[in-house]
Chains A and B, each alone.
Chain A
Amino acid sequence: MVSKPDISVKFCNLELESPYLLSSAPPTCTGEMIMRAFEAGWAGAVTKTIKPDKTPVYDLKNRFGVMGFETKQMILFENIEEVSKRPVGTWVNEIKEIKRKFPEKALIGSIMAECKEEDWEELARVVSEAGVDMLELNFGCPHGMPERGMGAFIGQRTELIQKLTKAAKRGSSVPVMVKLTPNVTDIAFTAKAAEEAGADAISAINTVLGLIGINIDTFEPIPTVDGMSTFGGLSGPGVKPIGLRCVAQIAQATNIPVSGIGGITTWKDAVEYLLVGAGSVQVCTAVMWRGYRIISDFVDGLTNYLADKGFSSVQEIIGKTLPRLTAWSKLNKDYTVVASINKDLCIKCGLCYVACRDGGYQAIKFEQGKSAEVDEEKCDACSLCTHLCPVPGCITWKKVTK
Chain B
Amino acid sequence: MSGRVHTKTIPPHERVSSFAPYVSNLDDRLAVYEASRCLMCFDAPCISACPAGINIPEFIYRIKTGNFYGAAKVIRESNILGGECGYVCPVERLCESKCVRRNLNEEPVAISMLQRFAYEKEKLKGLVKFPKSRSKNKKVAVVGAGPAGLSAAYELARMGYGVTVFDANPKPGGLLLYGILPWKAPWSVPESEIDLIKEYGINFVTNKKITDLKSLLKEYDAVFVGIGATKSQKLGIPGEDLNGVYPAQEFLQSVAKWLMGEGKAPDLKGKRVAVIGGGDTAIDAACASVRLGAERVYIVYRRSFAEMPAVPYGRNQAREEGVEFLLLTAPVRILGEKSVEAIECVKMELTEPDSSGRRGVKPIKGSEFRLDVNSVIVAIGQKPDEELLKSYGVKTEKGLIVVDENFSTSIKGIFAGGDAVNGGETVVEAVAEGKKAAAAIDKFLSGGKSPKK
Contacts and interface: CB of A to CB of B under 8 A. Distances in A.
A115 interface: no
B39 interface: yes
Interface in A348-402: 348-351, 353-354, 366-369, 390-391
A351 B40 contact: yes
B109 to A, nearest CB: 12
Interface in B17-55: 33, 36, 39-45, 48
A329 interface: no
Contacts of B39: 349, 351, 390
Contacts of A366: 42-43
B367 interface: no
Nearest to B47: A368
A349 B100 contact: yes
Contacts of B315: none
Contacts of A348: 41, 45, 100, 103
B2 interface: yes
Nearest to B33: A71
8 contacts: A70-B36, A347-B103, A348-B41, A348-B45, A349-B41, A349-B42, A351-B40, A368-B48
B104 interface: yes
Given A70-B36, A71-B2, A350 B41 contact: yes
Contacts of A350: 41-44
Interface residues of A, number: 15
Interface in B380-412: none
A369 B104 contact: no
B64 interface: yes
Contacts of A349: 39, 41-42, 100, 103
Interface string A331-354: 000000000000000011111011
Interface in A47-89: 70-71
A71 B38 CA distance: 12
B2 A351 contact: no
A354 B42 CA distance: 7
Given A71-B2, A391-B104, A351 B36 contact: no
Contacts of A390: 39, 104
Interface string B47-71: 0100000000000000010000000
A366 B45 CA distance: 13
A369 B45 contact: yes
A367 B42 CA distance: 9
Interface in B163-198: none
A70 B41 contact: no
Contacts of A369: 45
Interface string B86-116: 0000000000000010011000000000000
B42 A347 contact: no
Interface in A159-190: none
A322 to B, nearest CB: 34
A369 B43 CA distance: 9
Nearest to A70: B36
Contacts of B41: 348-351
A368 B45 contact: yes
Indicate the member of A350, A353, A354, A367 with the most B CB atoms within 10 Å.
A350
A220 to B, nearest CB: 18
Contacts of A354: 42
Q: Of residues B40, B41, B45, B104, which shows the largest number of chain A Cβ atoms within 10 Å of its Cβ?
A: B41
Nearest to B48: A368
Interface of B: 2, 33, 36, 39-45, 48, 64, 100, 103-104
A73 B265 CA distance: 51
Q: Which of A348, A353, A367 has the most CB of B within 10 A?
A: A348
Contacts of B44: 350
A234 to B, nearest CB: 23
Contacts of B36: 70-71
Contacts of B64: 70
B33 A347 contact: no
Nearest to A366: B42
A203 to B, nearest CB: 36
Nearest to A72: B36
A216 to B, nearest CB: 10
A171 B230 CA distance: 95
A347 B104 contact: yes
B355 to A, nearest CB: 25
A366 B41 CA distance: 11
A70 B32 CA distance: 8
A390 B39 CA distance: 8
A153 B36 CA distance: 42
Nearest to B35: A70
Contact of A353 (B40, B42, B48, B103): B42
Contacts of A391: 104
Nearest to B37: A71
Contacts of B33: 71
B95 to A, nearest CB: 14
A348 to B, nearest CB: 7
Contacts of A368: 43, 45, 48
Nearest to A352: B42
Contacts of B43: 350, 366-368
B96 to A, nearest CB: 15
A347 B2 contact: no
Nearest to A346: B103
4 closest pairs, A vs B, by CB?
A350-B42, A347-B103, A349-B41, A70-B36
A70 B33 CA distance: 7
A351 B41 CA distance: 6
Given A70-B36, A71-B2, A351 B45 contact: no
A212 B238 CA distance: 76
A351 B100 CA distance: 11
Contacts of A71: 2, 33, 36
A263 B241 CA distance: 77
Contacts of B100: 347-349
A67 to B, nearest CB: 15
A160 B43 CA distance: 60
Interface in A213-259: none
Nearest to B43: A368
Question: Which of A347, A351, A369 has most chain B Cβ within 10 Å?
Answer: A347
Nearest to B100: A349
Contacts of B40: 351
Nearest to B105: A347
Given A348-B41, A350-B42, 17 more contacts: A70-B36, A71-B33, A71-B36, A347-B103, A348-B45, A349-B42, A349-B103, A351-B40, A351-B41, A366-B42, A366-B43, A367-B43, A368-B43, A368-B45, A390-B39, A390-B104, A391-B104
A391 B41 CA distance: 13
Contacts of B48: 368
A199 B42 CA distance: 56
Nearest to A354: B42
A348 B48 CA distance: 14
Nearest to A390: B39
B108 to A, nearest CB: 13
A369 B46 CA distance: 11
A366 B42 CA distance: 9
A350 B103 CA distance: 13
Contacts of B104: 347, 390-391
Nearest to A347: B103
A70 B38 CA distance: 11
Nearest to B34: A71
B27 to A, nearest CB: 15
A316 B2 CA distance: 37
A351 B42 contact: yes
Most A CB contacts (10 A, CB to CB) among B42, B43, B44, B103 go to B42
